Amino acid sequence: MPKTILSARHIITALIVIFLWGMNFVVIKIGLKGIPPFLLGALRFMLVAFPAILFLPRPKVPLKWLLAYALTISLGQFAFLFSAMAVGMPAGLASLVLQAQAFFTVGFSALVFGDKLRAANLLGMLIASIGLALLGSASLANSASHVTLLGFALTICAAICWASGNVISKKIGPTAVLSLVAWSALVPVLPFFMLSVWFEGPDVITHSLSNLSLSSILTLVYLAFAATLIGYTLWGRLLASLPTHMVAPLTLMVPVVGLTAAWVLLDEALQTSQILGAAIVMCGLLINVFGQRLSEGMRRLFG
């Protein structure tokens, strides 16, 4: 039965995931300079699966749920996200828009599991959505183009896939998360290679593989081990131990890291409105996670 209180361990785990995934977008942007998106996805998940599956037992998960998890949270999410960033979606903006998954996750979970949302959850999500809208409108205003709008739509599709994977992960329930992440990584490798051959072509694949730079290799190492094996293992443990409506909004902090890292490392300007939007998102997150406890504490205090 999931707990309803955030412990220090939960908070530390969430902060590690937030940092790893916030930096992930800068790493992807750098990696796409030398490797096309679908090939990048294939190589990423190939490294996630091998050699890990040689040392980890297959998770005790029905095959249909293993496939569903892999096709949504791995193939779907990153096929859309990598494509979005390849056609011009800024790293910082991508880190922001992808967090729409929090809203999709809560909605899907309510439909599938009947999860109940309290007033504090709804208020927190509303405030956070205002912050996300402010961040998104400011970023689009600064980089408006048909390519960015396409990237925006592709990133929303990635968010829907991630949310679907979260619900499937919840459906799977407690399991050996590291084994689940490693073994599910086998599934998207072949589809990614097929997409790469179809859309990017054998010549591009050959050129990319024969001219791998140090930055490309380091990108693959980070994406496979830090962002995927470590990040998704910790994320899966949070989902298994806490209610979905408490876990999903935690990733609303990822854009704060993503926007800041993109500003510092990629020179993507961080506007005043973006800083304000990030602050509003943080406010909404705090209300969502701690609002109920604060409300109960105030009722006890004032009778």
The pLDDT, as a whole number, for residue 135 is 74
The answer as to whether 3 is a domain residue is no
The pLDDT, as a whole number, for residue 221 is 96
Domain span at residue 63?
Answer: 8-302
The answer as to whether 1 is a domain residue is no
The pLDDT, as a whole number, for residue 91 is 92
Q: What parts of the chain have a pLDDT lower than 70?
A: 1-6, 139-147, 244-245, 248-249, 270, 289, 292-293, 297-298, 301-303
The answer as to whether 174 is a domain residue is yes
Instruction: Work out how many domains the chain is built from and give that number.
Output: 1
The answer as to whether 2 is a domain residue is no
The answer as to whether 164 is a domain residue is yes
Nearest Cα to Cα of residue 244 among 181, 169, 132: 169
The answer as to whether 292 is a domain residue is yes
The answer as to whether 146 is a domain residue is yes
The answer as to whether 209 is a domain residue is yes
CA distances from 284 to 27, 155, 248, 295 (A): 28, 22, 13, 15
The pLDDT, as a whole number, for residue 140 is 66
Q: What's the CA angle centered on 45, arms 176 and 202, to 5 degrees?
A: 160
The secondary structure of residue 175, as a DSSP letter, is -
- Cα dihedral sign, 152-157-162-163: positive
pTM: 0.84
The pLDDT, as a whole number, for residue 279 is 83
* Upstream peptide bond of 243 is cis (omega within 30 degrees of 0): no
Alpha carbons 251 and 285: distance in angstroms, whole number: 9
Alpha carbons 64 and 86: distance in angstroms, whole number: 31
